[in-house]
Protein backbone atom coordinates (compact mmCIF):
# COMPACT_ATOMS: atom_id res chain seq x y z
CA UNK A 1 0.00 0.00 0.00
CA UNK A 2 1.44 3.43 -0.94
CA UNK A 3 2.61 5.42 2.05
CA UNK A 4 0.96 8.62 0.85
CA UNK A 5 -2.48 7.12 0.25
CA UNK A 6 -5.17 9.58 1.35
CA UNK A 7 -2.70 12.43 1.64
CA UNK A 8 -2.81 15.68 -0.31
CA UNK A 9 -0.50 15.62 -3.33
CA UNK A 10 1.74 18.67 -3.03
CA UNK A 11 3.32 20.28 -6.09
CA UNK A 12 6.95 21.33 -5.89
CA UNK A 13 5.88 24.91 -6.55
CA UNK A 14 3.50 24.93 -3.58
CA UNK A 15 6.07 23.20 -1.36
CA UNK A 16 8.56 26.01 -2.04
CA UNK A 17 5.83 28.62 -1.61
CA UNK A 18 4.81 27.14 1.74
CA UNK A 19 8.35 27.27 3.08
CA UNK A 20 8.87 30.88 2.01
CA UNK A 21 5.55 32.06 3.44
CA UNK A 22 5.67 30.22 6.76
CA UNK A 23 9.33 31.03 7.45
CA UNK A 24 9.54 34.39 5.67
CA UNK A 25 8.37 37.89 6.47
CA UNK A 26 6.20 40.61 4.91
CA UNK A 27 8.89 41.74 2.44
CA UNK A 28 9.45 38.17 1.18
CA UNK A 29 5.72 37.52 0.77
CA UNK A 30 5.21 40.84 -1.03
CA UNK A 31 8.12 39.97 -3.32
CA UNK A 32 6.46 36.66 -4.19
CA UNK A 33 3.28 38.51 -5.18
CA UNK A 34 5.12 41.06 -7.34
CA UNK A 35 7.18 38.28 -8.97
CA UNK A 36 3.96 36.40 -9.77
CA UNK A 37 2.61 39.53 -11.47
CA UNK A 38 5.76 39.62 -13.60
CA UNK A 39 5.30 35.96 -14.49
CA UNK A 40 1.71 36.61 -15.50
CA UNK A 41 2.90 39.50 -17.71
CA UNK A 42 2.37 42.61 -15.60
CA UNK A 43 1.87 44.63 -18.79
CA UNK A 44 -1.64 43.14 -18.85
CA UNK A 45 -2.33 44.41 -15.34
CA UNK A 46 -3.13 47.83 -14.00
CA UNK A 47 -0.86 47.79 -10.94
CA UNK A 48 -0.68 50.32 -8.12
CA UNK A 49 1.16 50.38 -4.82
CA UNK A 50 -0.83 52.32 -2.23
CA UNK A 51 1.60 53.43 0.48
CA UNK A 52 0.01 52.98 3.86
CA UNK A 53 -0.36 56.30 5.74
CA UNK A 54 1.03 55.31 9.15
CA UNK A 55 3.39 58.17 9.97
CA UNK A 56 6.25 56.66 7.93
CA UNK A 57 5.92 53.36 9.79
CA UNK A 58 7.98 50.53 8.25
CA UNK A 59 8.24 46.79 8.75
CA UNK A 60 10.22 45.38 11.73
CA UNK A 61 13.50 45.51 9.76
CA UNK A 62 13.07 49.27 9.35
CA UNK A 63 13.95 48.91 5.66
CA UNK A 64 10.63 48.32 3.93
CA UNK A 65 7.65 50.65 3.60
CA UNK A 66 4.15 49.23 3.97
CA UNK A 67 1.79 49.03 0.98
CA UNK A 68 -1.61 47.84 -0.07
CA UNK A 69 -0.84 46.52 -3.56
CA UNK A 70 -3.61 46.36 -6.17
CA UNK A 71 -3.56 44.63 -9.55
CA UNK A 72 -6.42 44.67 -12.04
CA UNK A 73 -6.45 42.11 -14.85
CA UNK A 74 -8.96 42.90 -17.56
CA UNK A 75 -10.70 46.00 -18.77
CA UNK A 76 -11.57 48.68 -16.20
CA UNK A 77 -14.93 48.85 -18.00
CA UNK A 78 -15.67 45.13 -17.70
CA UNK A 79 -19.27 44.33 -16.83
CA UNK A 80 -18.26 41.71 -14.28
CA UNK A 81 -15.58 41.94 -11.61
CA UNK A 82 -14.03 39.45 -9.19
CA UNK A 83 -12.28 40.91 -6.14
CA UNK A 84 -9.78 38.79 -4.19
CA UNK A 85 -8.55 40.27 -0.89
CA UNK A 86 -5.78 39.06 1.42
CA UNK A 87 -4.56 40.29 4.78
CA UNK A 88 -7.68 41.84 6.33
CA UNK A 89 -6.54 40.27 9.58
CA UNK A 90 -2.86 41.07 9.22
CA UNK A 91 -1.07 37.83 10.08
CA UNK A 92 -3.62 35.84 8.05
CA UNK A 93 -2.17 37.60 5.01
CA UNK A 94 0.47 34.92 4.41
CA UNK A 95 -2.08 32.25 3.54
CA UNK A 96 -4.08 34.73 1.44
CA UNK A 97 -0.90 35.78 -0.34
CA UNK A 98 -0.19 32.12 -1.14
CA UNK A 99 -3.63 31.76 -2.75
CA UNK A 100 -3.22 34.96 -4.77
CA UNK A 101 0.27 33.98 -5.94
CA UNK A 102 -0.88 30.47 -6.91
CA UNK A 103 -3.84 31.87 -8.86
CA UNK A 104 -1.57 34.29 -10.72
CA UNK A 105 0.60 31.30 -11.71
CA UNK A 106 -2.52 29.55 -13.03
CA UNK A 107 -3.41 32.62 -15.08
CA UNK A 108 0.16 32.83 -16.40
CA UNK A 109 0.12 29.18 -17.50
CA UNK A 110 -3.33 29.48 -19.07
CA UNK A 111 -4.73 26.72 -16.82
CA UNK A 112 -7.33 29.16 -15.53
CA UNK A 113 -8.96 31.93 -17.53
CA UNK A 114 -11.53 34.65 -17.02
CA UNK A 115 -14.87 34.73 -18.84
CA UNK A 116 -15.57 37.30 -21.52
CA UNK A 117 -16.09 40.86 -20.27
CA UNK A 118 -14.84 39.91 -16.79
CA UNK A 119 -11.95 41.40 -14.80
CA UNK A 120 -10.28 40.41 -11.53
CA UNK A 121 -8.91 42.80 -8.90
CA UNK A 122 -6.26 41.56 -6.47
CA UNK A 123 -6.02 43.53 -3.22
CA UNK A 124 -2.84 42.37 -1.52
CA UNK A 125 -2.30 43.02 2.22
CA UNK A 126 -5.40 45.00 3.18
CA UNK A 127 -3.84 45.47 6.62
CA UNK A 128 -0.11 45.77 5.83
CA UNK A 129 0.86 46.77 9.38
CA UNK A 130 -0.64 43.59 10.81
CA UNK A 131 0.95 41.55 8.03
CA UNK A 132 4.42 43.02 8.63
CA UNK A 133 4.29 42.87 12.42
CA UNK A 134 2.57 39.47 12.72
CA UNK A 135 -0.48 40.96 14.39
CA UNK A 136 -4.11 40.29 13.63
CA UNK A 137 -4.93 43.95 14.22
CA UNK A 138 -3.88 47.34 12.81
CA UNK A 139 -1.36 49.83 14.18
CA UNK A 140 -4.13 51.11 16.50
CA UNK A 141 -5.11 47.61 17.71
CA UNK A 142 -8.24 47.78 15.51
CA UNK A 143 -9.80 44.63 14.12
CA UNK A 144 -10.27 45.77 10.52
CA UNK A 145 -13.07 43.26 9.88
CA UNK A 146 -15.15 44.91 12.61
CA UNK A 147 -14.35 48.46 11.55
CA UNK A 148 -16.67 48.75 8.53
CA UNK A 149 -19.70 50.21 10.27
CA UNK A 150 -21.15 53.57 11.27
CA UNK A 151 -18.97 55.25 13.90
CA UNK A 152 -19.17 55.81 16.76
CA UNK A 153 -20.80 52.56 17.86
CA UNK A 154 -22.62 53.31 21.09
CA UNK A 155 -24.20 49.92 21.71
CA UNK A 156 -22.11 47.93 24.17
CA UNK A 157 -21.18 44.28 23.94
CA UNK A 158 -22.46 43.29 27.38
CA UNK A 159 -20.95 39.83 27.14
CA UNK A 160 -17.53 41.32 26.51
CA UNK A 161 -17.89 43.90 29.28
CA UNK A 162 -17.80 41.15 31.88
CA UNK A 163 -14.63 39.69 30.38
CA UNK A 164 -12.85 42.98 29.64
CA UNK A 165 -10.58 43.03 32.72
CA UNK A 166 -9.00 39.76 31.62
CA UNK A 167 -8.16 41.25 28.22
CA UNK A 168 -6.55 44.48 29.45
CA UNK A 169 -2.77 44.68 29.59
CA UNK A 170 -2.42 45.20 33.35
CA UNK A 171 -3.17 41.52 33.94
CA UNK A 172 0.12 40.81 32.21
CA UNK A 173 2.02 42.10 35.23
CA UNK A 174 1.43 38.62 36.67
CA UNK A 175 3.99 37.19 34.28
CA UNK A 176 6.67 38.97 32.27
CA UNK A 177 7.32 36.25 29.70
CA UNK A 178 4.33 35.80 27.36
CA UNK A 179 6.38 33.51 25.13
CA UNK A 180 6.12 30.96 27.93
CA UNK A 181 2.35 30.98 27.55
CA UNK A 182 2.50 30.76 23.76
CA UNK A 183 4.98 27.89 23.90
CA UNK A 184 2.71 26.07 26.33
CA UNK A 185 -0.24 26.58 24.00
CA UNK A 186 1.72 25.15 21.05
CA UNK A 187 2.68 22.05 23.05
CA UNK A 188 -0.90 21.49 24.21
CA UNK A 189 -2.22 21.90 20.66
CA UNK A 190 0.34 19.46 19.28
CA UNK A 191 -0.66 16.88 21.89
CA UNK A 192 -4.32 17.45 21.05
CA UNK A 193 -3.93 17.03 17.28
CA UNK A 194 -3.87 13.23 17.32
CA UNK A 195 -7.01 13.20 19.47
CA UNK A 196 -8.79 15.74 17.31
CA UNK A 197 -7.99 13.77 14.16
CA UNK A 198 -10.87 11.54 15.15
CA UNK A 199 -13.09 14.57 14.43
CA UNK A 200 -14.78 14.01 17.80
CA UNK A 201 -14.69 17.72 18.56
CA UNK A 202 -16.42 18.56 15.31
CA UNK A 203 -18.55 15.44 14.83
CA UNK A 204 -20.73 15.99 17.88
CA UNK A 205 -21.77 19.67 17.92
CA UNK A 206 -24.28 18.95 20.70
CA UNK A 207 -21.31 19.03 23.08
CA UNK A 208 -20.77 22.70 22.26
CA UNK A 209 -24.16 24.31 22.58
CA UNK A 210 -24.80 27.75 24.05
CA UNK A 211 -24.22 26.60 27.62
CA UNK A 212 -20.66 25.45 27.01
CA UNK A 213 -18.31 27.98 28.67
CA UNK A 214 -15.68 28.34 25.97
CA UNK A 215 -18.19 28.71 23.13
CA UNK A 216 -20.12 31.28 25.13
CA UNK A 217 -16.95 33.26 25.82
CA UNK A 218 -15.89 32.95 22.18
CA UNK A 219 -19.16 34.39 20.94
CA UNK A 220 -18.98 37.29 23.40
CA UNK A 221 -15.53 38.31 22.25
CA UNK A 222 -15.66 37.36 18.57
CA UNK A 223 -18.70 39.52 17.83
CA UNK A 224 -16.56 42.63 18.42
CA UNK A 225 -16.51 45.54 20.86
CA UNK A 226 -16.05 49.30 20.49
CA UNK A 227 -15.15 50.55 23.97
CA UNK A 228 -11.84 48.88 24.99
CA UNK A 229 -8.97 50.02 22.71
CA UNK A 230 -6.47 47.63 24.33
CA UNK A 231 -8.84 44.68 24.24
CA UNK A 232 -9.55 41.90 21.76
CA UNK A 233 -11.66 42.43 18.62
CA UNK A 234 -11.71 46.21 19.05
CA UNK A 235 -13.70 47.72 16.16
CA UNK A 236 -12.31 51.23 16.60
CA UNK A 237 -13.71 54.62 17.52
CA UNK A 238 -13.49 55.76 13.88
CA UNK A 239 -12.56 54.31 10.46
CA UNK A 240 -9.04 52.84 10.48
CA UNK A 241 -6.46 54.06 7.96
CA UNK A 242 -6.75 50.81 6.00
CA UNK A 243 -10.52 51.24 5.95
CA UNK A 244 -10.21 54.69 4.37
CA UNK A 245 -7.66 53.50 1.81
CA UNK A 246 -9.71 50.43 0.84
CA UNK A 247 -12.79 52.58 0.29
CA UNK A 248 -10.77 54.74 -2.12
CA UNK A 249 -9.62 51.59 -3.94
CA UNK A 250 -13.15 50.29 -4.54
CA UNK A 251 -14.26 53.75 -5.66
CA UNK A 252 -11.46 53.66 -8.20
CA UNK A 253 -12.01 50.14 -9.56
CA UNK A 254 -15.53 48.96 -8.78
CA UNK A 255 -18.02 51.64 -9.76
CA UNK A 256 -18.36 50.64 -13.43
CA UNK A 257 -19.07 46.94 -12.97
CA UNK A 258 -22.62 45.61 -13.26
CA UNK A 259 -21.87 42.49 -11.22
CA UNK A 260 -19.25 42.03 -8.49
CA UNK A 261 -18.23 38.90 -6.58
CA UNK A 262 -16.04 39.68 -3.58
CA UNK A 263 -13.77 37.17 -1.77
CA UNK A 264 -12.10 38.01 1.56
CA UNK A 265 -9.55 35.34 2.60
CA UNK A 266 -9.20 34.42 6.29
CA UNK A 267 -7.68 31.64 8.40
CA UNK A 268 -7.87 30.45 12.01
CA UNK A 269 -11.41 29.11 12.48
CA UNK A 270 -12.61 25.58 11.87
CA UNK A 271 -11.04 22.18 11.47
CA UNK A 272 -7.54 22.19 9.97
CA UNK A 273 -7.76 22.59 6.20
CA UNK A 274 -11.55 22.88 6.06
CA UNK A 275 -13.21 25.73 4.18
CA UNK A 276 -16.21 27.63 5.48
CA UNK A 277 -17.72 29.97 2.88
CA UNK A 278 -19.41 32.67 4.96
CA UNK A 279 -22.01 35.00 3.50
CA UNK A 280 -21.40 38.76 3.80
CA UNK A 281 -24.77 40.50 3.90
CA UNK A 282 -25.17 43.84 2.13
CA UNK A 283 -26.90 46.70 3.93
CA UNK A 284 -29.53 47.44 1.29
CA UNK A 285 -33.24 46.77 0.90
CA UNK A 286 -34.07 43.30 -0.42
CA UNK A 287 -30.54 41.88 -0.30
CA UNK A 288 -30.71 38.70 -2.44
CA UNK A 289 -27.01 37.87 -2.30
CA UNK A 290 -27.44 34.74 -0.14
CA UNK A 291 -29.72 33.09 -2.73
CA UNK A 292 -27.12 34.06 -5.35
CA UNK A 293 -24.47 32.30 -3.25
CA UNK A 294 -26.60 29.16 -3.41
CA UNK A 295 -26.73 29.49 -7.20
CA UNK A 296 -22.96 29.87 -7.45
CA UNK A 297 -21.65 27.43 -4.84
CA UNK A 298 -24.56 25.06 -4.38
CA UNK A 299 -27.68 25.10 -2.17
CA UNK A 300 -26.81 25.46 1.52
CA UNK A 301 -23.04 25.45 0.85
CA UNK A 302 -22.59 29.00 2.17
CA UNK A 303 -22.98 29.55 5.92
CA UNK A 304 -24.72 32.51 7.53
CA UNK A 305 -25.36 33.07 11.24
CA UNK A 306 -28.01 35.65 10.33
CA UNK A 307 -29.90 33.14 8.21
CA UNK A 308 -29.58 30.40 10.82
CA UNK A 309 -26.93 28.47 8.87
CA UNK A 310 -24.16 27.26 11.16
CA UNK A 311 -20.98 29.28 10.71
CA UNK A 312 -17.48 29.30 12.20
CA UNK A 313 -17.77 33.07 12.61
CA UNK A 314 -20.15 35.02 14.82
CA UNK A 315 -19.31 38.41 13.28
CA UNK A 316 -22.52 40.14 12.25
CA UNK A 317 -21.52 43.79 11.92
CA UNK A 318 -18.51 45.66 10.58
CA UNK A 319 -17.44 43.07 8.02
CA UNK A 320 -15.07 44.35 5.36
CA UNK A 321 -16.87 42.76 2.35
CA UNK A 322 -20.26 43.93 3.62
CA UNK A 323 -19.05 47.48 4.17
CA UNK A 324 -17.28 47.83 0.83
CA UNK A 325 -20.06 46.24 -1.23
CA UNK A 326 -22.67 48.41 0.49
CA UNK A 327 -20.58 51.45 -0.44
CA UNK A 328 -20.30 50.30 -4.08
CA UNK A 329 -24.07 49.85 -4.36
CA UNK A 330 -24.86 53.23 -2.83
CA UNK A 331 -22.22 55.04 -4.88
CA UNK A 332 -23.49 53.55 -8.16
CA UNK A 333 -27.06 54.38 -7.24
CA UNK A 334 -26.05 57.95 -6.45
CA UNK A 335 -23.79 58.55 -9.44
CA UNK A 336 -25.48 56.50 -12.17
CA UNK A 337 -28.90 55.62 -10.91
CA UNK A 338 -28.07 51.91 -11.34
CA UNK A 339 -27.85 49.09 -8.82
CA UNK A 340 -25.04 46.57 -9.36
CA UNK A 341 -25.46 42.89 -8.47
CA UNK A 342 -23.07 42.28 -5.56
CA UNK A 343 -22.16 39.04 -3.81
CA UNK A 344 -19.66 38.91 -0.96
CA UNK A 345 -18.20 35.95 0.92
CA UNK A 346 -15.44 35.26 3.40
CA UNK A 347 -13.29 32.21 2.69
CA UNK A 348 -12.40 30.94 6.18
CA UNK A 349 -9.80 28.14 6.33
CA UNK A 350 -9.26 26.11 9.50
CA UNK A 351 -5.84 25.81 11.14
CA UNK A 352 -5.65 24.60 14.76
CA UNK A 353 -8.29 23.95 17.45
CA UNK A 354 -10.13 27.18 18.19
CA UNK A 355 -9.34 27.23 21.89
CA UNK A 356 -5.61 27.27 21.10
CA UNK A 357 -6.01 29.94 18.44
CA UNK A 358 -8.10 32.06 20.79
CA UNK A 359 -5.55 31.84 23.62
CA UNK A 360 -2.70 32.60 21.21
CA UNK A 361 -4.59 35.65 19.99
CA UNK A 362 -5.16 36.79 23.57
CA UNK A 363 -1.48 36.35 24.48
CA UNK A 364 -0.26 38.13 21.33
CA UNK A 365 -2.62 41.06 21.92
CA UNK A 366 -1.44 41.50 25.50
CA UNK A 367 2.18 41.18 24.43
CA UNK A 368 1.69 43.85 21.74
CA UNK A 369 0.21 46.24 24.30
CA UNK A 370 3.12 45.93 26.75
CA UNK A 371 6.49 47.47 25.81
CA UNK A 372 8.47 45.48 28.39
CA UNK A 373 7.28 42.11 27.15
CA UNK A 374 7.87 43.17 23.54
CA UNK A 375 11.56 43.69 24.34
CA UNK A 376 11.83 40.32 26.07
CA UNK A 377 10.01 38.07 23.62
CA UNK A 378 8.83 40.17 20.68
CA UNK A 379 10.16 38.36 17.58
CA UNK A 380 9.87 34.83 18.89
CA UNK A 381 6.33 35.54 20.08
CA UNK A 382 5.37 36.81 16.62
CA UNK A 383 6.77 33.75 14.88
CA UNK A 384 4.95 31.35 17.18
CA UNK A 385 1.72 33.33 16.81
CA UNK A 386 2.03 33.34 13.02
CA UNK A 387 1.91 29.52 12.95
CA UNK A 388 -1.66 29.58 14.22
CA UNK A 389 -2.78 31.36 11.03
CA UNK A 390 -0.30 30.15 8.41
CA UNK A 391 0.45 26.51 9.13
CA UNK A 392 4.01 25.42 8.32
CA UNK A 393 2.70 22.50 6.32
CA UNK A 394 2.81 22.29 2.52
CA UNK A 395 -0.15 19.87 2.45
CA UNK A 396 -2.28 22.41 4.32
CA UNK A 397 -1.35 25.18 1.87
CA UNK A 398 -1.95 22.92 -1.13
CA UNK A 399 -5.35 22.04 0.28
CA UNK A 400 -6.52 25.61 0.80
CA UNK A 401 -5.21 26.61 -2.64
CA UNK A 402 -7.14 23.77 -4.29
CA UNK A 403 -10.33 24.70 -2.40
CA UNK A 404 -9.90 28.36 -3.39
CA UNK A 405 -9.46 27.40 -7.04
CA UNK A 406 -12.65 25.34 -6.88
CA UNK A 407 -14.61 28.30 -5.47
CA UNK A 408 -13.20 30.72 -8.03
CA UNK A 409 -13.90 28.26 -10.85
CA UNK A 410 -17.52 27.89 -9.67
CA UNK A 411 -17.79 31.67 -9.79
CA UNK A 412 -16.33 32.03 -13.28
CA UNK A 413 -18.57 29.20 -14.53
CA UNK A 414 -21.57 31.05 -13.10
CA UNK A 415 -20.50 34.30 -14.75
CA UNK A 416 -19.88 32.50 -18.06
CA UNK A 417 -23.41 31.10 -17.98
CA UNK A 418 -24.79 34.57 -17.32
CA UNK A 419 -22.74 35.95 -20.21
CA UNK A 420 -24.09 33.22 -22.51
CA UNK A 421 -27.66 33.96 -21.41
CA UNK A 422 -27.10 37.67 -21.99
CA UNK A 423 -25.61 37.06 -25.45
CA UNK A 424 -28.47 34.73 -26.34
CA UNK A 425 -31.07 37.31 -25.33
CA UNK A 426 -29.24 40.01 -27.29
CA UNK A 427 -29.11 37.74 -30.33
CA UNK A 428 -32.88 37.07 -30.14
CA UNK A 429 -33.53 40.78 -29.86
CA UNK A 430 -31.41 41.51 -32.94
CA UNK A 431 -33.13 38.76 -34.96
CA UNK A 432 -36.53 40.11 -34.05
CA UNK A 433 -35.42 43.58 -35.12
CA UNK A 434 -34.21 42.23 -38.46
| Any domain includes 1 | no
Phi and psi based region of residue 364 (left: phi greater than 0; alpha: psi -120 to 50; beta: remaining): alpha
Please give the Cα distance from 429 to 143 (Å, whole number): 50
| Any domain includes 360 | yes
| Any domain includes 4 | no
Other Cβ atoms closer than 10 A to 310: 9
| Any domain includes 153 | yes
CB 228 within 8 A of CB 160: yes
Please give the Cα distance from 390 to 194 (Å, whole number): 19
Predicted confidence (pLDDT) per residue in 200-234, tens digit: 444 444 444 444 555 555 666 778 899 999 888 99
| Any domain includes 242 | yes
> Which secondary-structure segment (H or E) carries 269?
strand 259-272
Is the pLDDT at 177 greater than 90, yes or no? no
Is the pLDDT at 132 greater than 90, yes or no? yes
Tell me what pLDDT residue 178 has: 54
Is the pLDDT at 174 greater than 50, yes or no? no
Residue bearing the bigger pLDDT, 353 or 226: 226
| Any domain includes 5 | no
User: Mean pLDDT score of the chain, rounded to an integer?
Assistant: 83
Is the pLDDT at 366 greater than 80, yes or no? no
Say how many domains are in the chain: 1
What is the residue range of 428's domain? Answer: 12-433
For range 23-32, the mean pLDDT: 95
For range 375-400, the mean pLDDT: 83
| Any domain includes 313 | yes
Residue bearing the bigger pLDDT, 41 or 258: 258
Determine the 3-state secondary structure of 345 from DSSP.
Answer: strand
Tell me what pLDDT residue 83 has: 98
pTM over 0.85: yes
Is the pLDDT at 402 greater than 60, yes or no? yes
| Any domain includes 175 | yes
pLDDT-based confidence at 245, cuts 50/70/90? very high
For range 246-267, the mean pLDDT: 96
Tell me what pLDDT residue 203 has: 41
Amino acid sequence: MPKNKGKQVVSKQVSNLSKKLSQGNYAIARGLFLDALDLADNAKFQIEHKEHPINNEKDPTGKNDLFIDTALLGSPDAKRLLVLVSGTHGVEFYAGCGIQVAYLHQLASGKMTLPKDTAILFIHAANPFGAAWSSRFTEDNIDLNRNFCEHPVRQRNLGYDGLAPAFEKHIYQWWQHPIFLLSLIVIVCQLAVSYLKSNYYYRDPSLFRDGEPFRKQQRSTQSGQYHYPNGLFFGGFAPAKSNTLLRKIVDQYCLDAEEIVFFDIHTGLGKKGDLDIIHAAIDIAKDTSLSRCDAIFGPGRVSSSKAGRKSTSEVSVGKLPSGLLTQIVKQQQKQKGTTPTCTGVTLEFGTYPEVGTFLALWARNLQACDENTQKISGELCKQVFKQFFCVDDAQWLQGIIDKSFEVIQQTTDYLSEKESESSSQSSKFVNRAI
